[in-house]
A and B are shown apart, each in its own frame.
Chain A
Amino acid sequence: GYRRTVPRGTLRKIIKKHKPHLRLAANTDLLVHLSFLLFLHRLAEEARTNAFENKSKIIKPEHTIAAAKVILKKSRG
Chain B
Amino acid sequence: MDGRVGLRASRRAAPTPRVAVRSSPRQRARVREQEPVVSAMSGSGLGKENKAGSSTPLRHRPNAFSELDNATPRVMLRKIIQNQPQVSPLALQTVQLEETEDARPEPPSQRTSSTVELQLPDLVPEDASVTTFRMTRKRKKLSISEFERAADKRLPQNQAHSTLDSTLVRSLRMSVGSVMAPDTVEKRGLLRRPQNHKAIDIAAFEGGVEQNMLQIKAQDYLVDLQTSSMTGTTTIRTDAEVVLNNTELFVEPQLGEQNLLAVEPQLSDSKTSAQRSNTSYPAHEKARLEGLVSRVSTDERRTLRFSEKDLITDHEHVDGITQKTPAKEGEDEQDHSQQNDPMEQFSESEEMAGTTEHHADAEYSEHSEKKLSRKAVSQLTAAQDAGVEMEMTPSEGGVAEGTEHQDSPKAELQMAGSPGGHSPASYSLKKSGAKPLKEAVEQTGEIERGTITGVLDAAEEEATDDESDIEDHESEEISMKTPMFVHAAAYRPHPVLSPPHPVKSASPELPPQPVRAKPVPKSSGAAQRKTREPEIASSLIKQIFSHYVKTPVTRDAYKIVEKCSERYFKQISSDLEAYSQHAGRKTVEMADVELLMRRQGLVTDKMPLHVLVERHLPLEYRKLLIPIAVSGNKVIPCK
* A and B form one complex: yes
- Chain A residues engaging chain B, CB cutoff 8 angstroms: 2-7, 10-11, 13-19, 21-25, 27-28, 30-41, 43-45, 47-48, 51-52, 57-61, 63-65, 68, 71-72, 74-77
B569 near A18 (CB under 8 angstroms)?
yes
Residues facing A in B584-614 (CB within 8 A) are 586-590, 592-597, 599-602, 609, 612-613
Q: In whole Å, how far is A38's beta carbon from the nearest beta carbon of chain B?
A: 5
Other 16 A-B pairs with CB < 8 A, given A57-B212, A58-B554, A75-B600: A6-B617, A6-B618, A19-B577, A40-B545, A44-B550, A45-B549, A48-B551, A57-B551, A58-B216, A58-B553, A60-B554, A60-B557, A61-B557, A77-B575, A77-B595, A77-B600
**Is B113 part of the binding interface, using a Cβ–Cβ cutoff of 8 Å?**
no
- A sample of 13 inter-chain contacts (CB < 8 A) reads A2-B547, A6-B617, A10-B537, A18-B569, A31-B597, A31-B613, A35-B572, A38-B597, A45-B549, A57-B212, A58-B216, A61-B559, A72-B567
Given the known inter-chain contacts A27-B590, A77-B599, please indicate yes or no for A64 contacting B569, CB distance below 8 A: no
B560 near A68 (CB under 8 angstroms)?
yes
Provide the bound-state CA to CA distance between A74 and B596, in Å: 12
Q: Which residues of B contact A45 (CB under 8 A)?
A: 548-549
**Is B564 part of the binding interface, using a Cβ–Cβ cutoff of 8 Å?**
yes
| Closest A residue to B609 using CB positions | A31
**Is B576 part of the binding interface, using a Cβ–Cβ cutoff of 8 Å?**
yes
Considering the complex of A and B, which 9 residue pairs feature the smallest CB-CB distances, nearest first?
A: A77-B575, A13-B534, A44-B548, A44-B549, A31-B593, A18-B573, A59-B553, A23-B587, A61-B556
Chain B positions 212 through 226: 1 when the CB is less than 8 Å from some CB of chain A, otherwise 0:
100010000000000
Which of B543, B588, B599, B602 has a CB less than 8 Å from the CB of A24? B588
**Is B80 part of the binding interface, using a Cβ–Cβ cutoff of 8 Å?**
no
Q: In whole Å, how far is B624's beta carbon from the nearest beta carbon of chain A?
A: 5
Provide the bound-state CA to CA distance between A63 and B576, in Å: 29
Q: In whole Å, how far is A6's beta carbon from the nearest beta carbon of chain B?
A: 6
| Closest B residue to A27 using CB positions | B624
Which of B537, B548, B550, B625 has a CB less than 8 Å from the CB of A27? B625
Which of A16, A38, A57, A76 has a CB less than 8 Å from the CB of B571? A76
Q: Which residues of A contact B578 (CB under 8 A)?
A: 77
| Closest A residue to B556 using CB positions | A61
Q: In whole Å, how far is B631's beta carbon from the nearest beta carbon of chain A?
A: 24
A35 near B597 (CB under 8 angstroms)?
yes
| Closest B residue to A76 using CB positions | B571
Given the known inter-chain contacts A24-B587, A38-B612, please indicate yes or no for A52 contacting B572, CB distance below 8 A: no
A31 near B625 (CB under 8 angstroms)?
yes
Residues facing A in B86-115 (CB within 8 A) are none
Provide the bound-state CA to CA distance between A32 and B594, in Å: 9
A74 near B588 (CB under 8 angstroms)?
no
Q: Which residues of A contact B533 (CB under 8 A)?
A: 17
**Is B518 part of the binding interface, using a Cβ–Cβ cutoff of 8 Å?**
no
A74 near B601 (CB under 8 angstroms)?
yes
Given the known inter-chain contacts A72-B571, A74-B601, please indicate yes or no for A3 contacting B540, CB distance below 8 A: yes
A7 near B537 (CB under 8 angstroms)?
yes
A63 near B537 (CB under 8 angstroms)?
no
The number of residues on chain B lying at the interface, defined by a beta carbon within 8 Å of a beta carbon of chain A, is 72
Provide the bound-state CA to CA distance between A59 and B492, in Å: 43
Provide the bound-state CA to CA distance between A26 and B572, in Å: 17
B576 near A22 (CB under 8 angstroms)?
yes
Provide the bound-state CA to CA distance between A74 and B202, in Å: 26
B600 near A25 (CB under 8 angstroms)?
no
Residues facing A in B525-558 (CB within 8 A) are 533-537, 540-541, 543-545, 547-554, 556-557
**Is B579 part of the binding interface, using a Cβ–Cβ cutoff of 8 Å?**
yes
Most chain B beta-carbon contacts within 10 A, residue among A5, A22, A61: A61
Q: Which residues of A contact B594 (CB under 8 A)?
A: 31
Q: Which residues of B contact A4 (CB under 8 A)?
A: 618, 620
B551 near A58 (CB under 8 angstroms)?
yes
Provide the bound-state CA to CA distance between A60 and B621, in Å: 33
Provide the bound-state CA to CA distance between A21 and B205, in Å: 49
Q: Which residues of A contact B613 (CB under 8 A)?
A: 31, 34
Q: Which residues of B contact A6 (CB under 8 A)?
A: 617-618, 621
Provide the bound-state CA to CA distance between A26 and B586, in Å: 14
Provide the bound-state CA to CA distance between A44 and B613, in Å: 19
B549 near A35 (CB under 8 angstroms)?
no
Provide the bound-state CA to CA distance between A26 and B320, in Å: 49
Q: Which residues of A contact B544 (CB under 8 A)?
A: 2, 37, 40
Q: In whole Å, how far is B615's beta carbon from the nearest beta carbon of chain A?
A: 9
B557 near A59 (CB under 8 angstroms)?
yes
Q: In whole Å, how far is B243's beta carbon from the nearest beta carbon of chain A?
A: 12
Q: Which residues of B contact A28 (CB under 8 A)?
A: 588-590, 592-593
Q: Which residues of B contact A37 (CB under 8 A)?
A: 544, 616-617
| Closest A residue to B547 using CB positions | A2
Provide the bound-state CA to CA distance between A7 and B624, in Å: 16
Q: In whole Å, how far is B541's beta carbon from the nearest beta carbon of chain A?
A: 7
**Is B293 part of the binding interface, using a Cβ–Cβ cutoff of 8 Å?**
no
A59 near B549 (CB under 8 angstroms)?
yes
A47 near B549 (CB under 8 angstroms)?
yes
Given the known inter-chain contacts A35-B597, A40-B541, please indicate yes or no for A65 contacting B588, CB distance below 8 A: no
Provide the bound-state CA to CA distance between A52 and B543, in Å: 21
Q: Which residues of A contact B534 (CB under 8 A)?
A: 10, 13-14, 16-17
Q: Which residues of A contact B588 (CB under 8 A)?
A: 22-25, 28
Provide the bound-state CA to CA distance between A24 and B625, in Å: 15
Chain B positions 8 through 38: 1 when the CB is less than 8 Å from some CB of chain A, otherwise 0:
0000000000000000000000000000000
| Closest B residue to A4 using CB positions | B618
B561 near A64 (CB under 8 angstroms)?
yes
Provide the bound-state CA to CA distance between A30 and B552, in Å: 28
A30 near B569 (CB under 8 angstroms)?
no
